[in-house]
Amino acid sequence: MEFSFDVDALLPERITVLDQHLRPPARRPGTTTPARVDLQQQIMTIVDELGKASAKAQHLPAPITSASRMQSNRHVMYVLKDTSARPAGKGAIIGFLKVGYKKLFVLDDREAHNEVEPLCILDFYIHESLQRHGHGRELFHYMLQKERVEPHQLAIDRPSQKLLKFLNKHYNLETTVPQVNNFVIFEGFFAHQHQGPGVLVGPAGTIPLPQNPRGA
C-alpha cells in the first residue's frame, strides 16, 4: 500500500508500534524533518487507510480501525513496512495487527462464566497482493514477543476463516472453547490466564454478556 508521502522516512523500522498517541517515530539521522504536526497527520492517514482496507477485506460495513479510534482506546497497532521494493522511492506498507486488553466474560469448558482481561486480537490485515508470503506470521510473532503472551492466552475478536487457518497452521490452535459472544478462545486459555479480581462463576446465561465491543 503506497502513499503520496515518504513512508520509508516516516517509519524507519520494519515494524512500527503505535499507541493512542500516534507519535511519529524518531527519524533517521540526516533525514529532513518536516513539522511534527505534518508527520502525525501522515501517521493518521496510514492508520485510516489500513483500517479501510482491512474492513473491505473482511466485508465489514465500516472500519474498526481508524486514527480517531486509536486515539480514544488503549490499543496497540503493529505496522509492517515493505523493506524490499521501494516504489517511487517512498516505501510501502504491507499490513498491520491491532491488539488490546479487554474485560470479557468467557465460558470455560464447564460452561461457567469467568471474568478475564486477556489480550485480544482486534484487527489484522496483510495487503491482498502479499498474503500467504509469511508477513502475517512475522507481525504476529513480533507482537507475541513484545506483549509477552503465548498464543493460547489470546482472545480473538470474530476471527475470519483465513485467521482461523493462520492460527491453526502457525500455532496449532484448533480446539475452541465455545462462547456466546463473538470472541474465540482456544483450549489452554484458562491454564495460565490471569483472572480479574471478581471472577464470576455461574450457569451460562445468568449474567448479561457484553455486546461485541470490536473496535470500541
Query: From the annotation, which residues make up the binding site for acetyl-CoA?
Result: 124-137, 160-169
Does 157 bind ligand ACO (CB under 6 A)? Our answer is yes
Secondary structure (3-state) at 115: strand
Q: Smallest gap, in angstroms, from Cβ of residue 9 to ligand ACO?
A: 25
User: What are the binding residues?
Assistant: 124-137, 160-169
Closer residue to ligand ACO in complex, CB, 7/154: 154
Closer residue to ligand ACO in complex, CB, 105/140: 140
Q: Smallest gap, in angstroms, from Cβ of residue 185 to ligand ACO?
A: 13
Judged by CB under 6 A, which of 14, 52, 86, 137 binds ligand ACO?
A: 137
Kindly state the cell numbers that stand for 40.
502525525
Q: Smallest gap, in angstroms, from Cβ of residue 154 to ligand ACO?
A: 10
Q: Smallest gap, in angstroms, from Cβ of residue 3 to ligand ACO?
A: 19
Q: Give the binding range for ligand ACO (CB under 6 A) out of 23-31, 70-78, 122-130, 186-194.
A: 122-130
Q: Smallest gap, in angstroms, from Cβ of residue 105 to ligand ACO?
A: 19
Contacts with 151 (C-beta within 8 Å, 6 or more apart), sequence order: 144, 167, 171, 173, 186
Task: For residue 100, list its beta bridge partners.
Answer: 120
The answer to whether 104 and 211 are in contact (CB under 8 A) is no
Contacts with 211 (C-beta within 8 Å, 6 or more apart), sequence order: 181
Does 133 bind ligand ACO (CB under 6 A)? Our answer is yes
Closer residue to ligand ACO in complex, CB, 118/136: 136
* DSSP output for 36-58: HHHHHHHHHHHHHHHHHHHHHHT
Give the Cβ contact number of residue 172 at 10 Å.
12
Burial of residue 60 (number of CB atoms within 10 Å: 0-12, 13-18, 19+): middle
Kindly state the cell numbers that stand for 6.
515518504
Task: Enumerate binding residues for ligand ACO (CB under 6 A).
Answer: 57-58, 121, 123-126, 131-137, 156-160, 162-163, 165-166, 169
